[in-house]
């Protein structure tokens, strides 16, 4: 492709090809080439062919350390003789951009980790002060938080492993190797971190109510999430002949039967679908509870706020589509945008999962902010939550044997009863973090 003034402008194919050659030639050369910019080997070959009347293959193999098979592969095996290929791509190297790395993953990671840490601490405080203990879903959330922080730390390592330069030909092979190793580990551990967040939410829903449709939805969604995560891990690890991708990144005889983009987009697409389903699972139950319109909308919004996290999931897939492969027109091979959106996605999901607990905490300790009736009476004073029947035919809130609700973030919705063995309690005072009743007394339906 040429510009208007006749000066040759490298195409995207040129940039991708020279980046590939830099890494493959340096990786299969002597270790002395591993600590210098990978493009140096192309420059050396170009100078050698341009200044030598009778080039010697033996001398080239001795200096580069290539085996005879690799020499023959580079010299004609990819369509051009090495004597033509090296000078051509040496010229391309002088024309393409050579951007420096400007990592923005560190401030993104620091900001979201600080925010998520604060939210998680408040959630745990809420659970202990309102429910009196931590549930299994709380421990699952803690595990998810640890995985998110560890994943973000590895993403920072990946962004700094390449040094100061963003293009493969300006990086040493050792830097590119460390970068690819971190990238591959990040890619097949990403589904694990996401699965941990989803499991914590599904455990919460499971203990929220014994309503059969809700629990069935939890089981089915949980199975899909687990299966998708396992596919994401195993399809990535075993996409090529050698599972250890980073040590075989420049092995031209290591064939890959699967396309990386296809794997990531398929797993990511299913992940977004399950994201939406998980945040919608409790909505039918909430909608059928005995709530007035204002309370029902407020409860739906409390659950539905998690859909915000889906924005991060979508943007991550957009970044995967744009930045997965090296050789972008600006020459910048950083995958920081992919990792940054993944960090945003994970942290937003965890923050949104804590929203119900945060609301319960506010009403518990600062009731005048939210928990007031229409006539100004504070219904949170001198009032305790009461449990509802653990029915399967109608939605209701499950309670522990000691009377503390498993879903203290939600309070105790007075769901319709369907048991003939349990008598309704009349004139029960109800305090709910989400529902604010208009009177101090509420008679349950029989």
What pLDDT, on the 0 to 100 scale, is given for residue 435? 35
133 and 268 inside one domain: yes
CA gap 198, 227 in Å, rounded: 13
Asked if residue 441 belongs to a domain, the reply is no
Instruction: Return the DSSP state at 101.
Output: P
Q: What is the DSSP string of 310-378?
A: HHHHHHHHHHHHHHSSS--TT-----HHHHHHHHHHHHHHHHHHTHHHHHHHHHHH-HHHH---TTS--
Going 184 to 185 to 188 to 193, the CA torsion angle's sign is: negative
112 and 239 inside one domain: yes
Cα–Cα nearest to 177, from 168, 188, 187, 186: 168
Asked if residue 404 belongs to a domain, the reply is no
Give the CATH number for residue 178. 1.20.1070
What pLDDT, on the 0 to 100 scale, is given for residue 290? 62
What is the reported pTM? 0.76
Asked if residue 392 belongs to a domain, the reply is no
Asked if residue 337 belongs to a domain, the reply is yes
Block mean pLDDT (10 aa), the chain, length 446: 58 83 91 93 94 92 92 83 91 86 86 94 86 86 95 92 84 90 91 93 86 90 95 90 81 80 91 89 76 68 72 89 63 74 92 79 64 41 38 49 44 40 38 34 33
Boundary of a domain, candidates 36, 67, 95: 95
124 and 261 inside one domain: yes
Asked if residue 443 belongs to a domain, the reply is no
151 and 87 inside one domain: no
71 and 209 inside one domain: no
Name the burial class of residue 171, with classes exposed (0-12), middle (13-18) and buried (19+) by CB atoms within 10 angstroms of its CB. buried
Asked if residue 377 belongs to a domain, the reply is no
133 and 234 inside one domain: yes
Q: Which residues make Cβ contacts (< 8 Å) with residue 155, sequence separation at least 6?
A: 105, 109, 182, 186, 339, 340, 342, 343
Asked if residue 154 belongs to a domain, the reply is yes
Boundary of a domain, candidates 345, 364, 383: 364
Q: SS3 of 399, please?
A: strand
CA gap 92, 115 in Å, rounded: 45
79 and 191 inside one domain: no
* Phi, psi for 226 (deg, rounded to 5): -65, -45
The residue range of the domain holding 68 is 12-95
| 69 in Cβ contact with 76 (< 8 Å) | no
132 and 168 inside one domain: yes
Asked if residue 435 belongs to a domain, the reply is no
Number of domains in the chain: 2
Boundary of a domain, candidates 63, 95, 127: 95
Instruction: Return the DSSP state at 81.
Output: -
181 and 62 inside one domain: no
CA gap 205, 1 in Å, rounded: 57
The C-alpha R_g of the chain, in whole angstroms, comes to: 29
35 and 138 inside one domain: no
204 and 71 inside one domain: no
Cα–Cα nearest to 154, from 408, 416, 343: 343
82 and 178 inside one domain: no
What pLDDT, on the 0 to 100 scale, is given for residue 395? 56
């Amino acid at each position: 492709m040429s510009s208007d003034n006749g000066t040759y402008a490298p195409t995207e194919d040129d940039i991708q090809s020279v980046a590939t050659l830099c890494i493959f030639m340096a990786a299969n050369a002597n270790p002395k080439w591993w600590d210098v910019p990978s493009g140096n080997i192309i420059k050396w070959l170009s100078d050698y062919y341009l200044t030598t009347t009778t080039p010697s293959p033996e001398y080239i193999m001795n200096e580069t350390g290539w085996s005879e098979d690799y020499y023959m592969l580079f010299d004609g095996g990819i369509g051009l003789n090495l004597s033509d290929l090296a000078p051509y791509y040496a010229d391309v190297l002088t024309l393409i951009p050579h951007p420096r790395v400007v990592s923005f993953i560190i401030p993104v990671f620091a900001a979201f980790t600080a925010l998520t840490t604060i939210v998680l601490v408040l959630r745990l405080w809420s659970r202990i002060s309102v429910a009196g203990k931590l549930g299994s879903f709380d421990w699952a959330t803690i595990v998810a938080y640890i995985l998110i922080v560890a994943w973000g730390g590895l993403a920072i390592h990946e962004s700094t492993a390449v040094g100061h330069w963003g293009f493969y030909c300006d990086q040493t092979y050792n830097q590119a190797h460390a970068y690819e190793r971190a990238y591959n580990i990040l890619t097949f551990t990403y589904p694990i971190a996401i699965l941990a967040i989803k499991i914590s939410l599904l455990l919460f829903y499971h203990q929220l109510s014994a309503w059969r449709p809700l629990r069935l939805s939890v089981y089915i969604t949980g199975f899909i999430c687990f299966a998708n995560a396992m596919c994401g891990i195993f399809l990535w690890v075993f996409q090529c002949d050698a599972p250890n991708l980073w040590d075989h990144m420049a092995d031209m005889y290591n064939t890959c039967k699967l396309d990386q983009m296809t794997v990531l987009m398929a797993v990511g697409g299913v992940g977004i679908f399950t994201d939406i389903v998980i945040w919608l699972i409790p909505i039918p139950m909430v909608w059928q509870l005995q709530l007035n319109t204002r309370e029902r909308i407020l409860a739906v919004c409390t659950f539905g706020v998690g859909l915000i996290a889906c924005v991060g999931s979508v943007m991550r897939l957009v970044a995967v589509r744009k930045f997965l492969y090296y050789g972008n027109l600006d020459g910048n091979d950083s995958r920081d945008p992919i990792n940054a959106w993944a960090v945003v996605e994970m942290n937003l999901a965890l923050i949104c999962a804590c929203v119900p607990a945060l609301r319960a905490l506010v009403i518990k300790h600062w009731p005048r902010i939210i928990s007031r009736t229409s006539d100004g009476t504070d219904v949170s004073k001198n009032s305790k939550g009461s449990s509802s029947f653990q029915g399967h035919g109608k939605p209701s809130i499950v309670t522990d044997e000691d009377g503390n609700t498993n879903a203290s973030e939600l309070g105790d919705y007075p769901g319709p009863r369907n048991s003939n063995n349990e008598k309704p309690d009349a004139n029960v005072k109800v305090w709910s973090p989400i529902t604010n009743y208009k009177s101090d007394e509420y008679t349950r339906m029989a």
